[in-house]
Copies of this chain bind each other. A is one copy, B any other.
Amino acid sequence: MDTGLSPGSLRAAHVQSMRVYWEDTDAGGVVFYANYLKYFERARTEWLRALGFSQETLRLHADPAQRAMFVVTDTQVRYLRPARLDDWIEVNVEVLRAGAASLEIRQQATRQLELLAAGTIRIGCVAPDTMRPRRMPDSLQQALARQACDPLNPI
């Protein structure tokens, strides 16, 4: 079984680097665990941007019928080692499953070769005004399908 707990997967669709700042830490002297969800989100945003999609553009599309917004429906995260102020970490994005209206993403935060946190995030696509599920725009579905069907990621 692939536990997702070996760092630096070859299959990553995107890797985003970021710094740990004061805002991220708590009185334990390390990154507050809930903030890994923010780190994962940042990496997904940059990954979608690298694919050519801005979430703000999707959300505020001139044609209301075209508007789409992602909502996170499920998160599972293991916190393995603490990150600290000033650390430079990398967060990857790996597409486990890409459906018409939903996504399943595996993500890891690493510091050099150390795995800090690993998780699986499920995401749905909704209409921003009603919060009801809707299919993603075709161009986005196609871009995601190419990533999920990559020979290096045959899920």
Q: Is the CB of B23 within 8 A of A26?
A: yes
Mask, A28-42, CB within 8 Å of B = 1, is 111011110110011
Q: Is A146 an interface residue, CB under 8 A from the partner?
A: no
Q: 8 Å CB contacts to B: which residues of A47-94? A: 49, 54-57, 59, 69, 71-79, 82, 84-86
Q: Is A128 an interface residue, CB under 8 A from the partner?
A: yes
By Cβ-Cβ distance, the 10 closest A-B pairs, closest first, are A25-B27, A34-B37, A56-B85, A56-B86, A23-B38, A33-B72, A76-B76, A27-B29, A54-B86, A25-B26
Residues in B whose Cβ lies below 8 Å from that of A79: 71-75
Residues in B whose Cβ lies below 8 Å from that of A82: 71, 131
Cβ distance A30 to chain B, nearest Cβ, rounded Å: 7
Residues in B whose Cβ lies below 8 Å from that of A32: 22-23
Residues in B whose Cβ lies below 8 Å from that of A153: none
Cβ distance A118 to chain B, nearest Cβ, rounded Å: 10
Q: Is the CB of A26 within 8 A of B28?
A: no
